Every structure is written in structure tokens, then in C-alpha cells.
């Protein structure tokens, strides 16, 4: 037996956490570029540092609040899944950039992830895609495509970049689907922390071939910590915290806040100028995000009476 509940505090809190995560992810491009500029590291090495530092921060927080080391097979299965999928996502995303371009990798990876989640939910019957949801998703992806632009890559690079980006998108969609269902006695901070440490370990081997050594200057270390803190530790902890309440489909669409925030920061901080076409894409993307958030807030939350 199930009961229909009106807008709940957990659902609203989940939406706010996802919005905050998307905004913080938008700072990752600037901070990642800063780390690369100061260290000379290859992108995959930056990704390894990002996961390692972010994971270490979250594990430290978990230990400081006396949550202890996770116990139980279910907890470590979840941590292993988070680590493996995070490593696959980061490695394939940066490989896609190297094979093609930032434009193609961003467009396919970020644009395809919510589509993969929506298709999975529709096929499994978890959350069918109705006309409103389909139209909102189409509006979001179209806005992203207009904002990012059309890739100008050769045929070989286009195929390789698209394939790698789809793998990255699928990995991100998978971690979104997997972590939407909480594990008893395993909070988002602890799961993300240990998972990211595992992901960093998996990236260390391929990253070592490009070099992992950095000069321990204060400014350099500050940049690395900032990258591991804001768009990694805090952002992903918020994302995984908000997932169970808002749902995987909503969370996947709200990740599109990342390119929108990055665009706004580029205009404000770097003084970049957008064309009217790009502004149109940004507007469409913003409308889709607002529709997603408001639709989720109005939807009833179904709870099983036996769990109450």
C-alpha cells in the first residue's frame, strides 16, 4: 500500500543540494585550468589529484565526526562502485578531450548523461518519460548544444571523442542511478570520500605515465586543494546527499547547471563575451532547469506504508 505525500522537506532539501552541487561544479573548469597552469600536469593527472584530494578531505571529515570506517558488504560494494565509476568517468572524459575537443566532450558527456538516466528509468518502469519530461529534456539538451557550439573536429577525432564521451556519460549516469538508493548506515560524505580515494588510486597508474610531480609552492598547493574542495568534495557530497530525495532523473538534468555556471563565470571573471546565439542557448538551458526543479517540487512523493 502506498500513500501520496505533498512536497516534503527532504525533497526540497534534495533539490537545493543538487542546485548547489551544479553551481560548485561550474567552478571546476576555472580551478582545473589554474591547477594545470601552475603545475603543468596533464588533464588525467589533474583528475587523479582532484579525486585524491577531494576524497581525503571527505574521509577526514567523516572521521572527525566519529562516523568511523564503513562496515558491511553493502557499504563497500557502494564505495567500490562510486570509485570505479568516478575513475571511468574522469579518464574517458579527459581522453575524449584529447581525442577531439573540449566542445565535443562537454556536449556529449554532459548532454547524454540525463538522457541515459531517463531512458533507463523509462525502460525499467521506474519513472516513465511523459511528454512534459521529454520536452524539458529536449529543451535542456538543445540549450546546451547551442550554448557550447558545434564541434569542429575531423572525422576520426569526432568518432573517437564521441565514443569516449558516451562511455563517460554512461559512467556518470550509472553512478547517479546506483547512488539514488541509499545504503543503511552509509552517509554521502563517507561513501564519496572512500570512493574517490579508490578512484584516485585507479587513475594513478595511467596518470603516472604523464607525470604526477608538482612543485610544493603555497600558491600551487592552494589551487590543488581548492579544486579538491569546492567542485569535488563539497559538490559531490551535496549531489549524492540530494539524490535519494530528488531522484536520479531530476539530478541528472540539474547537472547541466555546471556548463551554465561555467559560462556565467567566464563572462564575469574572464571577461569573455557571448554571442546572441550562445545567450539564447543559455536561456533555453536555464528555462529547462527551472522547469525540472519546479516539476519535481510539485510531484507527490510516494512512500511505502510498510516502511513507515
- pLDDT tens digits, one per residue of 246-300: 888 888 888 999 888 888 887 887 787 878 888 899 899 999 988 888 776 555 4
Model confidence band, residue 10 (pLDDT cutoffs 50, 70, 90): low
Q: What does 163-177 look like in DSSP terms, one character per residue?
A: HHHHHHHHHHHHHHH
Rounded-to-integer distance, Cα 155 and Cα 153, Å: 7
**What pLDDT is attached to residue 172?**
95
Per-residue pLDDT averaged across 211-239, rounded?
A: 94
Whether the CB-CB separation of 243 and 179 falls below 8 Å is answered with yes
User: Which residues make Cβ contacts (< 8 Å) with residue 35, sequence separation at least 6?
Assistant: 41, 46, 49, 220, 223, 224, 227
Tell me the torsion sign for CA atoms 207, 211, 212, 217. Answer: negative
**pLDDT at residue 3 tops 70:** no
**Portion of the chain with pLDDT greater than 70, in percent:** 91
Confidence label for 150 from pLDDT (cuts 50, 70 and 90): low
46-74 pLDDT, tens digit each: 999 999 999 999 999 999 998 889 989 99
List, for residues 96-140, the tens digit of each pLDDT value: 888 887 778 888 888 899 999 999 988 988 878 888 888 989 999
Q: What count of residues does the chain have?
A: 308
Q: What is the pLDDT of residue 17?
A: 92
Kindly state the DSSP code that residue 185 receives in the 8-state scheme: T
Residue with cell 571511468: 88
More confident site: 141 or 270 = 141
For residue 80, is pLDDT > 70?
Answer: yes
Least confident of 1-10, 180-189, 272-281: 1-10
Tell me if the pTM is above 0.85.
no
Question: What average pLDDT does this structure show over 224-241?
Answer: 95
Average confidence score pLDDT of the chain: 86
Q: How confident is the model at residue 307 (pLDDT cuts 50, 70, 90)?
A: very low
What does the H/E/C string look like for 234-295? Answer: HHHHHHHHHHHHHCHHHHHHHCCHHHHHHHHHHHHCCCCCCCHHHHHHHHHHHHHHHHHHHH
How much is the pLDDT for 32? 87
For 304, other C-beta atoms within 10 Å of its C-beta total: 9
Q: What's the sign of the alpha-carbon dihedral 106, 112, 113, 114?
A: positive
Residues with Cβ within 8 Å of residue 99, at least 6 apart in sequence:
157, 160, 161, 164
Amino acid at each position: 500500500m502506498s500513500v501520496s505525500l505533498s512536497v516534503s522537506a527532504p525533497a526540497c532539501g534534495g533539490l537545493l543540494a543538487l542546485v548547489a552541487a551544479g553551481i560548485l561544479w561550474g567552478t571546476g573548469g576555472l580551478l582545473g585550468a589554474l591547477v594545470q597552469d601552475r603545475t603543468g600536469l596533464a588533464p588525467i593527472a589533474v583528475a587523479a589529484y582532484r579525486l585524491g584530494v577531494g576524497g581525503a578531505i571527505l574521509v577526514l571529515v567523516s572521521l572527525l565526526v566519529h562516523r568511523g570506517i564503513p562496515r558491511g558488504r553493502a557499504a563497500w560494494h557502494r564505495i567500490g562502485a562510486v570509485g570505479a565509476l568516478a575513475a571511468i568517468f574522469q579518464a574517458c572524459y579527459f581522453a575524449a578531450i584529447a581525442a577531439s575537443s573540449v566542445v565535443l566532450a562537454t556536449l556529449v558527456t554532459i548532454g547524454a548523461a540525463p538522457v541515459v538516466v531517463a531512458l533507463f528509468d523509462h525502460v525499467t518502469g521506474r519513472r516513465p518519460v511523459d511528454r512534459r519530461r521529454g520536452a524539458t529534456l529536449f529543451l535542456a539538451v538543445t540549450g546546451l548544444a547551442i550554448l557550447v557550439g558545434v564541434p569542429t573536429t575531423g572525422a576520426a577525432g569526432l568518432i573517437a571523442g564521441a565514443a569516449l564521451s558516451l562511455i563517460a556519460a554512461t559512467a556518470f549516469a550509472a553512478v547517479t542511478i546506483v547512488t539514488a538508493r541509499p545504503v543503511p548506515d552509509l552517509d554521502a560524505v563517507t561513501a564519496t570520500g572512500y570512493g574517490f580515494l579508490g578512484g584516485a588510486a585507479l587513475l594513478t597508474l595511467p596518470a603516472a605515465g604523464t607525470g604526477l610531480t608538482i612543485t610544493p609552492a603555497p600558491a600551487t598547493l592552494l589551487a590543488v586543494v581548492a579544486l579538491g574542495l569546492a567542485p569535488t568534495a563539497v559538490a559531490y557530497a551535496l549531489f549524492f546527499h540530494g539524490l535519494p530525495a530528488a531522484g536520479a532523473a531530476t539530478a541528472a538534468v540539474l547537472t547541466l547547471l555546471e556548463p551554465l555556471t561555467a559560462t556565467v563565470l567566464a563572462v564575469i571573471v574572464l571577461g569573455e563575451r557571448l554571442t546572441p546565439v550562445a545567450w539564447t542557448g543559455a536561456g533555453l538551458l536555464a528555462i529547462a532547469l527551472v522547469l525540472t526543479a519546479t516539476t519535481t517540487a510539485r510531484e507527490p512523493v510516494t512512500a511505502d506504508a510498510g516502511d513507515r
